[in-house]
Structure 1
């Protein structure tokens, strides 16, 4: 079974609405409901005074109707009385100013007072519902670090020093790692160390990198503390909702994922991006990577528009189904929405919901029912996995480091470079895993390494060993430049990958954002160039114009390709086409402009082909089997209408 669920906020509605909501949930096939996400001020209206009557009622109502519960700990946003009594819990920005209540997450992750009060509430909730038969999953806080990941207050400074002491042991080792001989920054004692608060000039990059690491670890530690309280009272799985998406970058989820009982993600289409559907596919593949290739949970998505983008575009007819089945195709076995009933008040009153303001006589409600029907038809797909011979390496640490102060070009956006490579694979019909720099490479034929600025010695060796054992790689610019302390690898760029790629770069030559250069293979590029010479590599393309005419831009050294510039879309696809063919990569679908996705999920003896048409014209795809949604038999040619989705249980080959 593929779970269909939602967030529900009954505290926003009078009790007489609850029965109607639960009846409609049953009609829509909802079988998992997240509640008590933001319930703190209702559960503890005054310090130490707990009131569970309302939560008891809604839990029993859901339970009586056979709906399982994803139970929140209610700690995502504290009640006003806590900040009023203890203003020291409020987070501090880098400039030393406080952030006040009125929104959400107005708390410092390191605040001992906040933790004491939050953990006391979690203890009450876990004791009361830890053995309740309706509770299927525990939901710690909500979107940890969405707004408050980086706090620069004195409590955070103290915890940062403790984290640094654990990491480096001595102040001398810290000085070496941070390069504090530069600008007379050498520390003599731990109590001299501060978070990288706003300064009059560029700040120490290694200090900023460690503060990002600390901040991610501090929130993870907070999660683990809540989870430990729950696990004393309950054997039910515990998780929290990740935010694997284009605009959230402060948590290193590779470190978080092993601590979760279930990998869950929130994802919303971001129309500020040039290719939101590509980013959706990438986020789903990355979430699958965090789950170790196993099925995962989409904890939140929207039925239509969100409310936090400059222009909140709604979804076209059929787009919600396409979005949802893209997540399912790429490994999701649970599909949930924020939220059930659209709010009448508050900051998210214009955020779409399964039950819109206009009620059930709406196209949105009909699409919810259609989706529910489709997911029931796909029940047998649950538990299957996505298999591929290609991977893209993704690193939150490189994301942080690439976009710090004092870099060769502030126009270089890490995620854009990752998306560019991923989009090229997607347009070639190649399904890719998205893996950690520390991930196991042995199962792959081909690995793409985009903009991997920070590389440890062990990671570099693993990539070299992969190539030595017959694997193929494609590395893009600004990769291999620094070690884990953001210390430049001397001797010429691309540092850790110089010998592997058979090139040496003496100087970066960034281009202004409005400049393009032409390559002698017909491709175009921009943003970046390098004064590069080959040592053992062969030249695949060189610049015709720009600041470095005649200098190599794309090289190949055996199984290792190097792209020393930001290729445009056709040029990236062309080099990836050549590289994947030489690697023997198995394409799942046809090469196209990105409007067609073909992804397969597999069991030991069955495959399911998801064919998704994002385009405006009907397509045909060669496949044989049975369409699970329509029940139609497919005899070699599958027709998919504009905006349509088909899921084919493929005929087993004798």
Structure 2
């Protein structure tokens, strides 16, 4: 049975290529130029209607289909397929004027005004009614239009309105809590409300965790994060139900935000989609942004369950929302795009097709820039389209890692609440450090939730799991017992799913697996450090560990420079069942962490994709007949990598070596090495 994205790419004739198309921003005489240039650039798919609610429904209940009718027919006439958006991400002015109480409210009580996108409370009945009516009308009119190949539900759920603290949200929160806990006694127990005299005697006494005099109840705040994500998920489900009922022939997706945001549970949204799509934008201030790119791509693939996925948005050059919006260097757009392709994307889309003349995103780059067809960006866009057409055989193949890295929005939310031992323990900092260490070894990993089926992985990495549910703890324990190799980062396993500290000593649910007890957490101040016994300097965090069966691999130095945990274990290994459990009692720097993971992976039989120079990224996709090796050079030097196969793009293969130029990408077709799943 084909995956829905494979069906889409087959209909398109290859890799999906295009971007958001917003014809409402331009006069009609521009539209024909657009489709002509789309064909010239190799565009075969565009997303239409993301922010067009005010055009489609200029007055409540009155629809104007003239623009969409003409644009969809025009695109179809020129062989360009459409991903039609439900347009619900930007309510029009008439809606907020008619329903002022539907506007979101901040934790301090400020009701936000109309004037941007996503100006709605996710729990608002008025918004639900208006959005459902719009989606029903769209699906009824266009569900059978020949241009459409998929639905685009909403846009970046919760990007700007993830948390609303209005009275409507308060009522919805109470209903959510009743369903979750059933009784107030249970809620009081799980939230620990006997602390600070917070015990509730009536459901109506419970409010959202609005601004207050001191620290908010962490159990309440964590649940509000969950409720808020679920409130948006309920809206997503409502829209998808309408589309599946009214236009069932078309698959649907929504663009999740990956590691860019902690606002919603991306795995939960991905599970409700026929195919997974994600947005990714490089942080311009990060010289190693290509590692962040790889991390986001692997997470998107994890959300897709290892199947091909769609890159719904990235940029051809600079964005408009960072402090300094740095333009991409020549060749960087191709390198970024092919990296996403290497890591499982079967479609590469941009925001947007034509760069805006007005509005908040007019300085966001596009496929067709302000400079038109004479500038560098357009030439690179056109060249990329031609190259992707030549790589169409890659579609449907998959990336398979021997290593899983655990990623959990709930652990992220809990770690970064108020009143933790240190506010310097950022969740993404830990994930990125561990990922970078693995990336530099050219070992591919899948990013999966802690409750995923881990049986097929030789190594599982848990960089940061401050919160760990009983079920997920059991999953990790079974994995190690049955022969898996698990490595756990510091300050993990500490609390249960309700942010309650596990009794009996840290790290709580993982004590037996790791063969140790953490006597005390010893965070470091800004500017402080501690030395390990080999001279490695660690910052931010240390722990005093008492071995209970584990072997010490590295210690804190037994001198004053060893910090508050001087002389104690810093890295440990414990034989558990048929497997092992490793633990790091500090925030290790990436070079040291790389050596720990190198040792662990070698012990588990995990090998790099290829042996390559540092800075040469290698990823393999495997299909029915062939494998495809992507070699991506992030160095200023030419790299030569031993390969066996035929070059498809980007460079030469001479004497059994692929020659990868500085900043270049080479794609090699190999004979299939592993059987497809």
- Shorter-chain TM range is over 0.9
The residue number in structure 2 matching 1:311 is 324
Question: Structure 1 653/308 Cα, relative in aligned 2: closer, same or farther at 3 Å?
Answer: closer
**Two-structure CA RMSD over aligned residues (Å):** 1.4
User: What is the rounded CA distance, in whole Å, between the counterparts of 2:369 and 2:624 in structure 1?
Assistant: 41
Distance 2:527 2:427 in 1: 18
- Report the CA distance between 1:454 and its aligned residue: 1.0
Which deviates the most, 521-530 or 293-302? 521-530
- Give 1:629-640 correspondences, 5 Å limit: 629=649, 635-640=655-660
Q: CA deviation at 1:85?
A: 1.7
SS of aligned partner of 2:374: coil
Map 1:108-507 onto structure 2 (within 5 A): 108-235=121-248, 236-246=250-260, 248-273=261-286, 275-507=288-520
Does structure 2 retain, via aligned residues, the 8 Å contact 1:83–1:101? yes
Residue in 2 that maps onto 1:601: 621
Give the drift of 1:488: 0.3
The residue number in structure 2 matching 1:552 is: 569
Q: How far did residue 245 of structure 1 move?
A: 3.1
Query: Residue 568 of structure 1 aligns with which residue?
Result: 589
Residue 45 of structure 1 is aligned with which of 44, 54, 58? Answer: 58
Shift of 1:632: 5.2
Corresponding residue SS for 1:509: strand
| 1:144-165 deviation digits (Å, cap 9, x = unpaired) | 1000010010111111111111
Structure 1 counterpart SS, 2:246: coil
Residues 651 and 661, structure 2, Cα contact 8 Å, conserved in 1: no
**Aligned pairs (5 A) from 1:69-84:** 69-84=82-97
Per the TM alignment, residue 574 of structure 1 is displaced from its structure 2 partner at its CA by 1.2
- Measured after TM superposition, the shift of residue 272 of structure 1 is 4.1
Q: TM-score, normalised by structure 2?
A: 0.95
Structure 1 residue matching 2:296: 3-state secondary structure: helix
Partner of 2:7: none
- Asked whether the 8 Å contact 1:589–1:597 carries over to 2, the reply is no
Does the aligned pair in 1 maintain the 2:651–2:660 contact within 8 Å? no
TM-score by length of 1: 0.98
SS at match of 2:128: helix
| Structure 1 CA distance for aligned equivalents of residues 397 and 253 of structure 2 | 21
Q: Distance in 1 between matches of 2:68 and 2:139?
A: 13
Match of 2:640 among 607, 612, 620: 620
Whether contact under 8 Å (1:387, 1:601) holds in the other structure is: yes
Give how far 1:390 is off.
Answer: 0.5
Residue segments in structure 2 that go unaligned for 5+ positions in a row: 1-13
In structure 1, distance between residues paired with 2:45 and 2:32: 16
Contact 2:651–2:659 (CA under 8 A) maintained in structure 1: no
Q: Per-residue CA shift, 1:360-416, capped at 9, x if unaligned?
A: 011111100111122111111100001121110010000000000000000110011
In the alignment, the residues of structure 1 paired with residue 186 and residue 673 of structure 2 have an alpha-carbon distance, to the nearest angstrom, of 60
Q: Give, in angstroms, the shift of residue 548 of structure 1.
A: 2.2
Kindly tell me the number of residue pairs found equivalent between the two proteins: 652
Residue equivalent to 1:577: 598
Gap regions ≥5 residues in structure 1: none
Structure 1 distance, partners of 2:133, 2:78, is 31
Q: Could you tell me which residue of structure 2 aligns to residue 610 of structure 1?
A: 630
Whole-Å Cα distance in 2 between the matches of residues 94 and 86 of structure 1? 20
Task: Give, in angstroms, the shift of residue 532 of structure 1.
Answer: 1.1
Cα 1:518–1:25 change in 2 (3 A) is same
Taking the aligned partners of 1:496 and 1:579, their CA distance within structure 2 comes to: 22
**What's the offset of the Cα at 1:255?**
1.6
